[in-house]
Chains A and B, each alone.
Chain A
Amino acid sequence: GENVEQHPSTLSVQEGDSAVIKCTYSDSASNYFPWYKQELGKRPQLIIDIRSNVGEKKDQRIAVTLNKTAKHFSLHITETQPEDSAVYFCAASTSGTYKYIFGTGTRLKVLA
């Protein structure tokens, strides 16, 4: 079945620096890759997603890149702010099965 690996498990950056979180997936048929942010004690919420027909997508300070050949996708956060501190999860899903498989999460700490 699908497996999603996520790195790093923890990441500390200085405020204003960039943060990059990387994921790899195993099922070459996966075609939808969302990223969720979970603040402490709250539910996960979608922050950005990308489909397999697109290589990159940006939304203000957040961007996601996808390399289908290597089965890698990454989340990039620029100009980090303290409110970016949270746990971030990547996921992969496949048309037909639609089963979201999540990565193990990255705890991001933005140091003021």
Chain B
Amino acid sequence: GAGVSQSPSNKVTEKGKDVELRCDPISGHTALYWYRQSLGQGLEFLIYFQGNSAPDKSGLPSDRFSAERTGGSVSTLTIQRTQQEDSAVYLCASSSDGNTEAFFGQGTRLTVV
């Protein structure tokens, strides 16, 4: 596609439910990042995928968070047993090979009620 695509754009879920957020990176980009942005705050690193290497999961805040990247393309961020503090915008970005410009998706706004 022309850019990084994320779905859904908005998600409202009840506390305790599981959610899945999807990211379609730019075709051919080997690097994929997930960030979390709370209201008015910065970009908190969550996880990074690079090609076939093991992902860098050092930013995941708890074991309720996990992410996969299938076939080196689409990625899914899963949050289990959501809590109100999980409410934020989740941004995905991709770059051609890391250490170059990262292109961001429009984000998924998650609201846990």
Q: Which residues of A contact B110 (CB under 8 A)?
A: none
Measured CA separation A42–B107 after assembly (Å): 9
Q: Type the 1/0 row for B22-65, where 1 means its CB is closer than 8 Å to any CB of A.
A: 00000000010101000001110100101000001010000000
Q: How large is the interface on B (under 10, 10 to 19, 20 to 34, 35 or more residues)?
A: 20 to 34
Given A31-B99, A44-B43, decide whether A102 and B35 contact each other with a Cβ distance below 8 A: yes
Is B48's CB under 8 angstroms from A98's CB?
yes
Which of the candidate stretches A12-20, A56-64, A69-77, A89-97 sits at the interface with the other chain? A89-97
A35 to chain B, nearest CB (A): 11
**Binding site of A, secondary structure by majority: helix, strand, loop or mixed?**
loop
Interface digits, B58-75 against A, CB 8 Å rule (1 contact, 0 not)?
Answer: 100000000000000000
Q: Which residue numbers of B lie inside 8 Å of A, CB to CB?
A: 31, 33, 35, 41-43, 45, 48, 50, 56, 58, 91, 93, 95, 97-107
